[in-house]
Amino acid sequence: MTDPFPPDEPPPARPSAGHFGVVVGRFYEELAARLVTGVSKAFDEAGATYEVHDVPGAYELPLAALYLAQTGRVAGVACLGAVIRGETTHYDYVCNEAARGIQDVQLRTGVPCAFGVLTVETMEQALARSGGDHRDSGYHAGEVVLRMAALRAELS
């Protein structure tokens, strides 16, 4: 079997196509800023352009993603935010509805939407997953929406 990426040839570039949208819940401003930094890096590395729109929190992300998807000017939408568990069941409702709503938007419109919402128990976990020592969920959301937009283009 032949190596598809011989040592002297670099692997293919990451997908770069078009203009993307970012919707970000600003309830936890520090986390939102870190997530936007990550998604910006992913889009910049891919040579993609993007626009950022703020909403109050994670619960509002699906409607903002729908508004943006319906404009027809974006190849995909990265949805970013954070929900940290408190003492009530509010966390469960917000997480579930944000996830369901974002999925509904992409299935209804055909515009890829990445779920870059941190759903965590503590602020420490959120910091670790927003460019800290565990992962960069903003960057990952950018990678996901880039790949899904490329797949959509390939299959069109």
- The 10s digit of each residue's pLDDT in 89-116 is 999 999 999 999 999 999 999 999 999 9
Q: Please report the pLDDT score of residue 41 as a whole number.
A: 96
Which residue type sits at 67? Y
Question: Which residue out of 53, 90, 134, 140 is catalytically annotated?
Answer: 90
Does the active-site annotation cover 140? Answer: no
Confidence of residue 132 (pLDDT cuts 50, 70, 90): confident
pLDDT in tens, 7-43: 554 433 333 459 999 999 999 999 999 999 999 999 9
Q: pTM for this one?
A: 0.88
Q: Could you tell me which of 76, 59, 70, 82 has the C-alpha nearest to residue 19?
A: 76
10 CB-near residues (< 8 Å, 6+ apart) = none
In three-state secondary structure terms, 133 is: coil
In the chain, the percentage of residues whose pLDDT exceeds 90 is 85
Structural domains in the chain plus CATH codes: 21-155 (3.40.50.960)
